[in-house]
């Protein structure tokens, strides 16, 4: 059991309401700040490398504005046959994504970064991890896929489905070592990182 450290300023570097809700489960006080970075994948970059790079860049961007803090950055990249699947942005693109993925397995790479700037901002302690989640989509007809999209409008979600909402009904199977990774913040990995950063969860 790690010893308790002096209170640390904990910041979630994300605008996602889902990540905020997940982090609140841990009972730790935290702030939310939105990073402003270019999330475009680099040419020839693997999906895992993209997710890890962006998670670290998000945390680093917040660290400039909040020196001395513990900062959580996270990013998710969905892939089908090794090719990245971005956020659809609109109904037509989302429909094309779901048509392509139905009856098939999609891999979600959820990268996590804990940026510890408490000691020295010029030489921070950085923990990185990529958690893979394997998701099989149900083989549903166009009418059902179209109806789902009109109801939930998941146009800001890579993969065009919100598993934390009605989107769970178009999924057939989810396999992951970290059950909250698919929603965007892998809490098993995060609590391990926070423990290594000497953050206590249970004060006895």
Mean pLDDT of 67-86: 93
pLDDT value at 102 more than 70: yes
- Return the bridge partners of 173, or none: 136
pLDDT value at 12 more than 60: yes
pLDDT value at 4 more than 70: no
Q: Do residues 128 and 112 touch, judged by C-beta distance below 8 A? A: yes
Q: Which helix (H) or strand (E) holds 162?
A: none
- The residues annotated as belonging to the active site are 75
pLDDT value at 204 more than 90: no
Is the pTM above the cut of 0.75? Answer: yes
147-203 pLDDT tens trace: 999 999 999 888 899 998 999 999 999 999 999 999 999 999 999 999 999 998 887
Q: Which helix (H) or strand (E) holds 11?
A: strand 10-13
pLDDT: which is higher, 132 or 36 = 132
């Amino acid at each position: 059991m790690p010893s308790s450290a002096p209170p640390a300023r904990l910041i979630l570097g994300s605008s996602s309401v889902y990540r905020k809700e997940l982090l609140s489960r841990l009972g730790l006080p935290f702030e939310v700040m939105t990073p402003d970075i270019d999330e475009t994948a680099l040419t020839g970059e693997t999906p895992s490398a993209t997710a890890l790079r962006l998670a670290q860049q998000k945390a680093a961007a917040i660290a400039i504005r909040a020196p001395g803090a513990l900062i959580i950055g996270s990013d998710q990249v969905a892939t089908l046959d090794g090719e990245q699947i971005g956020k659809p942005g609109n109904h037509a693109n989302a429909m094309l994504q779901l048509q392509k993925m139905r009856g098939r397995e999609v891999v979600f790479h959820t990268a996590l970064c804990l940026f510890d700037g408490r000691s020295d901002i010029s030489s921070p302690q950085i923990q990185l991890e990529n958690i893979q989640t394997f998701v099989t989509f149900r083989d549903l007809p166009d009418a059902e896929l179209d109806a789902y999209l009109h109801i939930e409008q998941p146009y800001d979600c890579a993969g065009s489905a919100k598993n934390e909402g009605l989107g769970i009904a178009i999924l057939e199977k989810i396999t992951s070592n970290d059950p909250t990774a698919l929603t965007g913040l892998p809490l098993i990995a995060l609590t391990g990182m926070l423990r290594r950063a000497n953050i206590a969860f249970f004060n006895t």
